[in-house]
Amino acid sequence: MGIINVTPDSFSGDGLLGDVGAAVELARRFEAEGADILDIGGESSRPEAAELDPHAELARVLPALRAVREATALPLSIDTYHASVAQAALEAGADAVNDIHGLRHDAAIATVVADSGCALLAMHNQRGRPHRDVAADIAAGFAETLRLARVAGIEMGRIILDPGFGFGWAPEQNLEMLRRLPELWSLELPLLVGTSRKSTLGFVTGAPVGERLEATAATVALSIAGGADVVRVHEVAEMARAAKVADAVVRANWRQNL
């Protein structure tokens, strides 16, 4: 999954606010480099970022999403937790909703997803929640998201779960999360992991945000080894190669890549 941020304040410094041409160029480059899905977002999810008004969010994402939809046939996800933004983005050509609150912030978003028949990428967000045990906290969050999905009528086969690396965890807990990914296999749903450029990698390596390529690659490979089916990244070409090698080991499918 290639990240396309149309924000002015992305933690990673890659925001493309208002530059629709740059978003299209990035989408085409990501497709050429091996992306399988593109994730378009208009609100920064960095810690302590203010919640964006849905109208302002729509003004950011819709022009870019429409232009990217015309430029590529790749599946597009809209990174939002607002039902109104999700609805408008789906009408503009998005194929999936990527909700960093796992249906737990805006109750109406579950209905939007159910009615549209789109895919749901649902994160467990630990921010503001008490900590007990990393894997148990994630499992409890997933259980509530899946409950809300069932109530809304969202088919389980359309859901991908994200344990929320970097969302309310200390660095040590983020690292523990990667070690314990296999404990989430019992849900029998695909897993998405997003570690790209995040502060935990800087905590470990001492590298600033623009110099975390190798650290990201390490966590991408470890995530796949732990069972991740989707990895959300800023550098598609390099991470696609890392994923191919990890898949060759974990899934023994290297011949399919020749």
Residues known to be catalytic:
198, 232
- CB 69 within 8 Å of CB 57: no
Burial class (CB in 10 A: 0-12, 13-18, 19+), 130: exposed
CA 52 from centroid of its chain's CA atoms = 18
Four-CA torsion 118, 123, 129, 130, nearest 10 degrees: 130
Under DSSP, the state recorded for 13 is S
Strand partners, 219: none
Of 228, 186, 222, 188, nearest to 204 (Cα)? 222
Pairwise CA distance, residues 122 & 255, whole Å = 32
Token pair listed for 176: 């523990």
Q: Output b/e per residue, 24-54; b: 16+ Cβ within 10 A.
A: bebbeebbeeebebbbbbbbbbeeeeeebeb
Q: How many CA atoms lie within 13 Å of 1's alpha carbon, on the beta-carbon side?
A: 27
Burial class (CB in 10 A: 0-12, 13-18, 19+), 78: buried
Q: Output b/e per residue, 203-216; b: 16+ Cβ within 10 A.
A: eeeeeebeebbebb
